[in-house]
Chains A and B, each alone.
Chain A
């Protein structure tokens, strides 16, 4: 069992966990993730290592509630435990001195982007941070990302904070204005990463995205995470999760992610009923 030492509610749909996982804390590098299972009946889900306290043997993970497992995690508090925390999985980000790097984050990707952007900064890059959410209440780690960025932008779909619109619009304007951007990095929902790809392709700016296909073991055993990149099949859990966005077969990724949607909906509905019944019993 892996003990939860502290939690922090970040937004209405995201929560931070500090979890005791000494082996992972010793080895994890920016860009890597862990596999988490909540309890005996649980499924294995991948979550990015958002920060590490190696000395204490503690990792930070940030979870956005989208379905049964992530919603169940959100009910856990300090003192509770997770049945499994395995990793670090995946290849670490390729950190070099590229010059100016635009780092885009959306959804849980705001937190997942943070360790990568920080490391890129430490490697001597100029960082343009661009994060976005539907509205201001859903922003995650804005201050931390701002703190390591040389230039920083926030976008919201409804204009409640920063620029109204999407993260890719800021990127688009900068590229149009011929600002120097040597590399674009992005973590977030597939539609955002896909839009990034469309934005940068005409300008030929190298673009790296951290893909999030469905995963199970994350050790290369099952192949559920396979994605087609430059016409070749790759296992995102061991060959990735970061790939050249311009080479990704996005249609395929979207189709593969959709396979279990009816089952995911059923699992979430059942879970919500259970929670409601428990709340009813208490009241």
Chain B
């Protein structure tokens, strides 16, 4: 029985004062020595509680064992048997509420750094050229995969491996979904996501860009055009707004607009790139999830002098990954907690110049299990802000549901599926990821893509 070791290896990272001047990756990754040392801390628990915490059940103790034996190719193979995009998940999974929360070390605040090890082994493999999985014999069946976010990429990769001919149809001009337009490069370098996507293409997956399903062609037309099955992974990209007066003033962005300008259109390199972004001296970001942290930290990097997160609940309820909130704080982002906007105030040019806010207090737990924020009368105050970013959530885009008769949609706009298979109420059509769950996580979207691929494979073989 190995001895317990409670000192989790810290992550080397760019210094906060330096990194807010660039879009380079913040967390720099373990060295081989650190990775092996950290791997050595794992107790190889017989009942593997960590594996239950992972939505795709990565065989955690097994890959860690291979790592500490120095058999890195085997570690990568084990990892990829359930997780096609480990370099991405290792970086963006909310480990502290998933695998690492279930680690036996968790209560002592010293979970094995599973995510960092996952990232290390994936980067190690990407550096050396990835071993491609064995492809099954070609089936002669064609599958259309709609969208190119993590759910679609996973479904496409699995289906290609099973021998089906897969075409991805993406509305934008670049692949990756949120990985490309949302998550900034300082958290997920584009070389990493790009390499993972290129590997998929090596499996024979074809990507058609600038193809908006529901507009360029409908799902029914794709089925009639010779696709034997369709997987929908169009995400939850429709931004929600708070619903307070003044929200359409110039200078009020949805987080999607702000991040799309910066990440997809590379506005940080304006005027080398044509798309501009405007960031004032004082930026207020409404919300406290990953999207809000990403917006706040992009704003800092674009030269804002003061960036505030405005959140109506307290620190405990903040939905962002713990590491991102910590990084944001280190970088100087202010947290105005228990604070909610009540009004956006404009100047004589119709541009935002301030936000009226109200203090909140926490009441009884609501449907989400979190304590409900209640306004405190008379606590209004004005926060100066020449840029406001609204990051309070997104819902599924209705383009595909509205143009697809026979596809059942819930009252929240999410597509209804059989949770075991991802099959929708329409024959030959599957769905997964944020489109089904509402805004969730990369790894849950990947899990859904994988389950749907297995079910589509059975269907194409006439077994279902």
Residues of A within 8 A of B (CB): 23-24, 27, 35, 37, 41-44, 68-69, 83-89, 216-217, 219-224, 226-228, 233, 238, 249, 251-252, 254-256, 258-260, 263-264, 266-267, 270
Contact = CB atoms under 8 A, between A and B. Distances in A.
Given A220-B237, A223-B256, A238-B399, A270 B271 contact: yes
Interface residues of B, number: 43
B361 interface: no
B335 interface: no
B105 interface: no
A267 B269 CA distance: 12
Contacts of A226: 248
Interface string B243-270: 0000111110110110011000110001
Contact of B265 (A86, A216, A223, A258): A216
B411 interface: no
Interface in B212-257: 212, 215-217, 237-239, 241, 247-251, 253-254, 256-257
Nearest to B265: A43
B264 to A, nearest CB: 8
A198 to B, nearest CB: 19
A42 B216 contact: no
B275 A216 contact: yes
A221 B250 contact: no
The 9 closest A-B pairs by CB, nearest first: A255-B350, A263-B276, A86-B210, A222-B257, A43-B274, A223-B254, A259-B250, A43-B275, A221-B237
Nearest to B241: A233
A252 B350 contact: yes
B147 to A, nearest CB: 11
A10 to B, nearest CB: 24
Contacts of A259: 250-251, 278, 351
Contacts of A219: 171-172, 212, 215, 237, 397, 399
A89 B254 CA distance: 21
Considering residues A223, A228, A267, which has the most beta carbons from chain B within 10 angstroms of its beta carbon?
A: A223
27 contacts: A23-B211, A23-B216, A41-B266, A41-B274, A43-B275, A84-B209, A85-B210, A87-B215, A88-B215, A217-B171, A219-B397, A220-B399, A222-B256, A222-B257, A223-B254, A223-B257, A224-B253, A224-B254, A224-B257, A233-B241, A251-B350, A255-B250, A255-B346, A256-B250, A259-B251, A263-B271, A267-B274
Contacts of B270: 263, 267
B216 A260 contact: no
A188 to B, nearest CB: 21
A228 B248 contact: yes
Contacts of A83: 173
Contact of B397 (A42, A86, A220, A228): A220
A69 B351 CA distance: 25
B272 interface: yes
A255 B351 contact: yes
Given A43-B275, A259-B351, A27 B215 contact: yes
A83 B399 CA distance: 24
A260 B254 contact: no
B461 interface: no
Contacts of B247: 233
Interface string B163-187: 0000000011100000001000000
B423 to A, nearest CB: 26
B171 A260 contact: no
Contacts of A43: 265, 273-275
B349 interface: yes
A220 B171 CA distance: 11
B458 to A, nearest CB: 31
A263 B277 CA distance: 8
A221 B212 contact: no
Contacts of A41: 266, 272-274
A217 B264 CA distance: 10
Contact of A252 (B241, B248, B271, B273): B248
Considering residues A220, A228, A252, A254, which has the most beta carbons from chain B within 10 angstroms of its beta carbon?
A: A220
B271 A267 contact: yes
A231 to B, nearest CB: 11
A85 B171 CA distance: 11
A219 B274 CA distance: 20
A221 B271 contact: no
Interface in B263-315: 265-266, 270-276, 278
Contacts of A23: 211, 216-217
B369 to A, nearest CB: 29
Considering residues A86, A88, A254, which has the most beta carbons from chain B within 10 angstroms of its beta carbon?
A: A86
Contacts of A220: 237-238, 397-399
Nearest to A84: B173
B216 A88 contact: yes
Given A41-B273, A68-B274, A266-B271, A221 B241 contact: no
Contacts of B261: 216
A180 B249 CA distance: 39
A87 B210 CA distance: 7
A255 B249 contact: yes
A84 B397 CA distance: 22
Contacts of B251: 259
A1 to B, nearest CB: 11
